[in-house]
């Protein structure tokens, strides 16, 4: 369920800590914790430093989006979800491709672990932003276009009680129209104007994503690789705020 309170702009920004160097990551958390809502901890830093690293980020003032994309048999994912809840993360994700039984199991176990209070947001991964129609067909045997596949998986996620989905900027408007305002959309593939796309195929600017209806945007390299990471984050916040003003 979508949070009742209207989020401040900074709460909508998630900074992706996709770096291997522990001290550099903690330094960035110290610099940025008051100008973003969460820090995304993905596979590389988590595998390097483990659950204790999540606690270090929390102790430094950061809320954590645990981006491990759980995808396994139902019991395994359900127990991983329990562990994520015990870590106190604000959000974690699972692959919708794991199926309805897996999705329902993780929601039920996390509700049981938390007593339904202060539950982490459970977000379903749809189509990775590194994949286009050609990769979906040639590599995964999926004949739907990316938008159709995203909507198919998003419907399953909502049916199974997930908080929302991860989806590229190109699918935001269609998800919002079909599933309403109470279904969260977390959007990676965000690149400020003039930035390199890197390995992402379905990208957008911060302003475009907010205008389309994203609840959270995830930004990594444009902040991490900036000469002044704090100023880079603040520029993104200004663009988001201007876009919100335009929508009013």
**Residues catalogued as catalytic:** 67, 69, 72
Q: Are 241 and 62 in contact (CB under 8 A)?
A: no
Is 129 known as a binding-site position? Answer: yes
Is 73 known as a binding-site position?
yes
200 labeled binding residue: yes
8 is in an annotated binding site: no
190 labelled ligand-binding: no
Residue reference for tokens 């998800």 = 175
- H runs (alpha helix) in the chain: 22-32, 43-49, 51-59, 74-87, 100-114, 133-140, 146-159, 172-179, 206-212, 221-224, 229-247
Annotated binding residue 76: yes
The rounded distance, in Å, linking the Cα atoms of 157 and 244 is 27
169 is in an annotated binding site: no
β-pairing verdict for 64-70 and 216-219: unpaired
| DSSP character at residue 236 | H
Residue among 78, 65, 35, 95 at smallest CA distance from 235: 35
Residues 231 and 27 sit within 8 Å (Cβ to Cβ) = no
Q: How many CB atoms lie within 10 A of CB 25?
A: 24
Q: Is residue 74 marked as binding?
A: yes
Classify burial at 52, counting beta carbons within 10 Å of its beta carbon; exposed 0-12, middle 13-18, buried 19 or more. exposed
**Does 18 carry a binding-site annotation?**
yes
* Cα-Cα end-to-end distance for the chain: 23
33 annotated ligand binder? no
Is 139 among the annotated ligand-binding positions? no
Residue 10, annotated ligand binder?
no
Q: Is 71 annotated as a binding residue?
A: yes
72 assigned ligand-binding residue: yes
**Which residues define the annotated binding site for substrate?**
18, 40, 67-76, 129, 191, 200, 220-221
Binding residues, by number, are 18, 40, 67-76, 129, 191, 200, 220-221
């Amino acid at each position: 369920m979508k949070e009742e309170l209207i989020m401040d702009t900074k709460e909508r920004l998630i900074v992706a800590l996709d770096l291997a160097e522990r001290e550099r990551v903690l330094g960035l958390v110290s610099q940025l914790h008051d100008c973003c809502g969460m820090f995304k901890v993905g596979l590389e830093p988590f595998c390097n430093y483990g659950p204790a690293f999540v606690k270090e980020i929390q102790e430094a003032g950061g809320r954590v989006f645990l981006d491990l994309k759980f995808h396994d048999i139902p019991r395994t994912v359900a127990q991983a979800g329990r562990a994520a809840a015990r870590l106190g993360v604000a959000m974690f994700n699972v692959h919708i491709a794991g199926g309805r039984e897996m999705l329902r199991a993780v929601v039920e176990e996390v509700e049981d672990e938390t007593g339904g209070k202060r539950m982490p947001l459970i977000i379903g991964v749809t189509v990775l932003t590194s994949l286009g129609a050609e990769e979906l067909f040639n590599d995964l045997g999926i004949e739907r276009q990316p938008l159709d596949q995203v909507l198919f998986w998003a419907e399953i996620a909502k049916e199974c009680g997930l908080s929302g989905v991860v989806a590229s900027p190109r699918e935001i408007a269609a998800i919002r129209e079909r599933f309403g305002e109470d279904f969260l959309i977390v959007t990676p593939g965000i690149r400020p104007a003039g930035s390199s796309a890197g390995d992402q195929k379905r990208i957008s600017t911060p302003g475009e994503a907010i205008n389309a209806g994203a609840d959270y945007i995830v930004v990594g390299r444009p902040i991490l690789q900036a000469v002044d990471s704090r100023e880079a984050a603040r520029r993104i916040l200004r663009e988001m705020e201007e876009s919100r003003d335009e929508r009013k």
